[in-house]
Amino acid sequence: MIFIENTSTSPYFNLACEEYCLTNLDFDEDIVMLWRDDNTIVVGKYQNTIEEINHEFVAENKVNVVRRVTGGGAVYHDLGNLNFTFILNVDRTDMIDMKKYALPVVEALKEIGVTAELSGRNDITIDGKKISGTAQRLHKSKLLYHGTLLFDSDMGVLSKALKVSIDKIESKGIKSVRSRVANIKEYLNKNYDVLEFKRLILHHLFKEQPYKEYKLTDEDLKAIRLLEKERYSKWEWIYGKSPSCNLKNSKRFSGGKIEVLLNISNGIIEGCKIYGDFLGVSNIEDVESVIIGNRYDKEDIEKSLKDINISEHFGNITKDEVVSCFFK
């Protein structure tokens, strides 16, 4: 495994760095990065940003807002939060197992005295409280798998900056987002700070294999900053534009939420936009494009999806569940 040091705390640079390493660094070995963002909401690729953030609070408190290239829900980062990124070589997409990739993190936590466990579709929890959420992205034969580790984050800001939908809170059986999350530091016997915590996690990951480090070159950094400028810091990427629609429907399943916006004219679907916090690894635009041009008819929509790998695009949501989202 190869470690890449990234000491930046800019969310725009950091997410650009992740994508660059995924698409441009071709090593036979897997890559790991540990990094932090300062005061940031990171929304999932397929989410409607405006609906996920408390806009007034975010503006008043100068909270950064950025969109990542993976699915899943919105999360809050600050300097008390440690993020991990694995870029893994995978042979078959049907063998992708998120729990398998989360195990090294769970084992690292155990080594420093924290008993954590995998929970639900993409969480790591302690005593039933979430301390990590994960997501993934497939690019050719490489998988980007990343997540948060709430170590000593400001829970007051976290709960105010995120605007969590009622249906998600109810699906978790909780009263608020604040009652669902916890900081790892609360469960430690020793008074580590977040940088010491980072060192301990890194030590565990390389405990049984040679330590290798790749230093980003000037050429790498130039390309990352260009990607940061042209995508991650742009309003169009972060907020996007909701298309005109005359039908809107949303449903939540155990595998996540799907929201469908359709523009239908004379019974033909002329526009399609799909939002959600589902955990696919492939572009949802592939799905949107095959829907457009079909009659607004269940049988036609089912036929249009026949060549779509539903699990790659929607994670654990089934084809029948996806199709049901197109109808009230």
For the record, the structure tokens of 318 come out as 């089934």
Place of tokens 């635009």: 285
Pairing, β 2-3 against β 31-35: parallel
Residue 75, H or E segment = strand 75-77
Rounded alpha-carbon distances, angstroms, from residue 125 to 30, 75, 148, 153, 192: 25, 15, 12, 15, 19
Residue 325 has a CB neighbour count (10 Å cut-off) of 20
Q: Is the pLDDT of residue 206 over 70?
A: yes
Cα dihedral 183, 184, 190, 195 in deg (nearest 10)? -90
pLDDT of residue 170: 43
| 2-238 and 247-324 in the same fold | no
Q: Is the pLDDT of residue 168 over 60?
A: no
pLDDT of residue 13: 98
pLDDT tens figures, 100-115:
778 888 888 888 888 9
The mean pLDDT of the chain is: 90
Domain ranges of the chain: 2-238, 247-324
pLDDT of residue 165: 58
Pairing, β 40-43 against β 64-67: parallel
Rounded alpha-carbon distances, angstroms, from residue 159 to 43, 83, 134, 184: 15, 19, 19, 17
Q: How far is residue 141's CA from residue 93's CA, in Å, rounded to a whole number?
A: 8
Secondary structure of 125-141 in the HEC alphabet? EECCEEEEEEEEEEECC
For the record, the structure tokens of 268 come out as 């033909």
pLDDT of residue 92: 62
Q: How far is residue 194's CA from residue 266's CA, in Å, rounded to a whole number?
A: 58
Q: Is the pLDDT of residue 27 over 50?
A: yes
Residue 265, H or E segment = strand 256-265
Q: Is the pLDDT of residue 171 over 60?
A: no
71-85, 124-138, 158-172: which has the minimum mean pLDDT?
158-172
Place of tokens 């990542």: 68
- The pTM score is 0.87
The fraction of the chain above a pLDDT of 70, given in percent, is: 92
Place of tokens 């049907």: 94
Secondary structure of 167-234 in the HEC alphabet? HHHHHHCCCCCCCCECCHHHHCCCCCCHHHHHHHHHHHHCCCCCCEECCCCHHHHHHHHHHHHHHHCC
CATH 3.30.2350.10 assigned to 2-238 = no
pLDDT tens figures, 271-307:
999 999 999 888 999 999 999 999 999 999 999 999 9
Q: How far is residue 54's CA from residue 152's CA, in Å, rounded to a whole number?
A: 22
Any idea which architecture 247-324 has in CATH?
A: 2-Layer Sandwich (3.30)
The fraction of the chain above a pLDDT of 90, given in percent, is: 70
Q: Is the pLDDT of residue 20 over 90?
A: yes
Residue 110 has a CB neighbour count (10 Å cut-off) of 13
pLDDT tens figures, 289-298:
999 999 999 9
* Residue 175 pLDDT level (bands cut at 50, 70, 90): very low
For the record, the structure tokens of 287 come out as 């799905």
Mean pLDDT of the region 79-88:
95
Mean pLDDT of the region 135-162:
92
Q: How far is residue 6's CA from residue 214's CA, in Å, rounded to a whole number?
A: 11
